[in-house]
Amino acid sequence: PYYWKVDSAGNQLPYFDGVEVLVAGDRQAVALGNVTGVYDNDAMWVGIQHLSLFLEEEPNRDFTIGHSLCSGMAIYFNYDCPDEDARIVMRNVDFRRACSLAINRPKISKVMFYDTLIPMGCSFSPNSAYFEEEVGKLYSEYDPEGAKEILDEAGIVDADGDGVRELPTGEKCEVIWDVYEHDLYMPISEMVVEDLAEVGIKLVLNVQHQLLVTERREGGEYELSTYDFFAVDEPLAALEWWVPAVE
């Protein structure tokens, strides 16, 4: 059988007659394999954390470095988490807004992304006809004082002066955050933990293998979880995010 396309001389191109799959558990090894031409394609995340390696080899190799639509790491709040106190916090829009304002996105961009990121929340791609800049940048500026003010007005205050705020119920404002064992996610997560601690919110990192984090997220067993966010161009591009799964 032949593939439906032809080459520059008009000859029909053959189908693949075989595919060799290599299961790798180390991202750096996958990045090296891409740079040296060992792999034709990879299904493991090779990202900005490997950029220096690709830039070093670019003059000697036949490849082009491009940008993806992935907006990077996003934090997902579980409105239906098992813990009742945590559930109340997750559903509090003022708490979520304060968390967003407390994150120093410009610093993350400079330290981890070669200062290439545009501080923004979860929205459509700026290339999309649906994109609205006001919505895309809502609560994405770094404003720790504004975050503190929002928390104070919401009644989430540091009543005993220990640096960690209390909820209106009297419980500590302490949230468990599921994070992958990931060479990009981990350092970003540690920076976010420091940022939120500055405004009195204590995040406790629960670092696990990606499969376990995914299992907990899909089972609704988390409080905060980590995953990519893809800034798509149109709303039908990722229906699995909006339409319930059917078994």
Query: Per the domain annotation, does 131 fall within a domain?
Result: yes
Same domain, 34 and 87: no
pLDDT at 229 (0 to 100): 81
Tell me the one-letter amino acid at 102: A
Return all residues near 164 (Cβ < 8 A) that are at least 6 apart. 158, 172, 173, 174, 200, 201, 202
Number of structural domains (the chain) is 2
List pLDDT tens digits, range 33-70. 888 888 888 766 677 888 888 888 888 888 887 776 66
pLDDT in tens, 234-245: 878 777 766 766
pLDDT digits (tens, 9 = 90+) for 4-18: 788 888 888 877 778
Domain containing 111: what range?
70-241
Helix (H) or strand (E) holding 27: helix 27-35
Boundary (domain end) residue, out of 35, 60, 85: 60
- Of 18, 33, 60, the position where a domain reaches its end is 60
Q: How confident is the model at residue 3 (pLDDT cuts 50, 70, 90)?
A: confident
Q: Is residue 90, in this structure, part of any structural domain at all?
A: yes
Bridge partners (DSSP) of residue 208 are 180
Mean pLDDT of the region 203-218: 93
Same domain membership, residue 157 and residue 115: yes
List, in sequence order, every beta strand (DSSP E) within 7-69.
12-14
Pair 96, 27 in one domain: no
Place of tokens 């954390």: 49
Specify whether 216 is located in the same domain as 108.
Answer: yes
Average pLDDT, the chain: 88
Q: Which residue's structure tokens are 């003059």?
A: 59
Does residue 73 contact residue 185 with C-beta atoms inside 8 Å? yes
- Residue 31 pLDDT > 70: yes
Q: What is the dihedral of CA 110, 115, 116, 119, to 10 degrees?
A: 60
Check residue 101 and give its pLDDT. 98
The Cα 126–Cα 57 span in angstroms is 31
Residue 227 tokens, joined: 């995953």
Whether residue 211 sits in one domain with residue 148: yes
Pairwise CA distance, residues 188 & 211, whole Å:
20
Structural domain includes residue 150 = yes
Of 21, 37, 60, which residue is a domain's last? 60
What is the reported pTM? Answer: 0.83
- pLDDT value for 25: 72
Q: How many CB atoms lie within 10 A of CB 199?
A: 24
Q: Which CATH number is 85's domain given?
A: 3.10.105.10
| Structural domain includes residue 227 | yes
